[in-house]
């Protein structure tokens, strides 16, 4: 895989990455062209190549940035709802709901994620692995760390925190993501909350600490 070039003005680079996010999200990895990205950015194709050696390098750059930005947003939600939680069920539900709304409203970020999932067989394996590591895997690890801390406070069982994080996502988010086609189809807020509440209740049956006494 080629390395990312560093030549050129920062504002041009930002315009190119914004354009690439939109074009890759709209056209997918295979159909997107450097010509289309240059046109979207309002620059010449030579300018695009001054910043990025090839399409794979550009795709990796925008995929990693988008994945990391979304993971950072979800990390902030974990801190908001789980760091100093008093009512565990309420905190978990609020986190699950806000997480779902954040992902569903991700705009071009969400479109790029849909394109990656739709074209997974056509995306270079190292690019796909890096995207997963920067986003979904990082989010699962962050959530596992929060669940480990909650177990240390006696609010969750001392089960495998990585498994607990994976199960929480499956129970509270995966169904929402699939029914909305990862944000492509609107989903009523009441349905998002109902799914989150049912998922949290199932999660707590698996991992909730038994009541004292």
Q: What is the pLDDT of residues 33-57, one digit of tens each?
A: 999 999 999 999 999 999 999 999 9
- pLDDT of 213 strictly over 50: no
Backbone angles phi, psi at 68, to 5 degrees: -70, -40
Let me know how many helices (H) and strands (E) the chain has, helices first.
Answer: 11, 0
Closest alpha carbon to 181 in 96, 118, 97, 134: 118
Domains, the chain:
56-207 (1.10.357.10)
pTM for this entry: 0.88
pLDDT tier for residue 208 given thresholds of 50, 70 and 90? very high
Residues of the chain with pLDDT > 70, as a percent, come to 95
Closest alpha carbon to 200 in 160, 173, 182, 177: 173
Tell me how far apart the alpha carbons of residues 15 and 4 are, in angstroms, rounded to a whole number.
Answer: 16
Residue 126, Cβ neighbours under 10 Å: how many? 11
The answer to whether 4 and 48 are in contact (CB under 8 A) is no
């Amino acid at each position: 895989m080629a390395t990312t070039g560093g030549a050129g003005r920062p504002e041009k680079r930002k315009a190119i990455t914004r354009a690439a996010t939109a074009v890759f999200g709209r056209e997918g990895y295979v159909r997107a062209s450097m010509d289309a990205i240059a046109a979207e950015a309002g620059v010449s194709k030579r300018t695009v190549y001054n910043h990025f050696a090839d399409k794979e390098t550009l795709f990796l750059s925008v995929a990693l940035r988008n994945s990391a930005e979304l993971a950072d947003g979800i990390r902030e939600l974990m801190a908001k709802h789980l760091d100093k939680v008093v009512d565990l069920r309420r905190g978990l539900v609020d986190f699950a709901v806000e997480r779902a709304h954040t992902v569903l409203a991700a705009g071009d970020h969400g479109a790029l994620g849909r394109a990656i999932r739709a074209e997974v067989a056509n995306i270079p394996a190292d690019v796909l692995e890096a995207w997963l590591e920067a986003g979904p895997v990082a989010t699962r690890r962050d959530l596992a760390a929060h669940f480990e801390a909650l177990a240390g406070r006696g609010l969750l069982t001392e089960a495998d925190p990585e498994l607990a994080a994976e199960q929480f996502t499956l129970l509270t988010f995966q169904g929402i993501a699939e029914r909305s086609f990862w944000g492509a189809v609107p989903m009523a807020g009441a349905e998002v909350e109902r799914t989150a509440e049912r998922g949290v209740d199932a999660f707590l049956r698996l991992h909730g600490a038994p009541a004292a006494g």
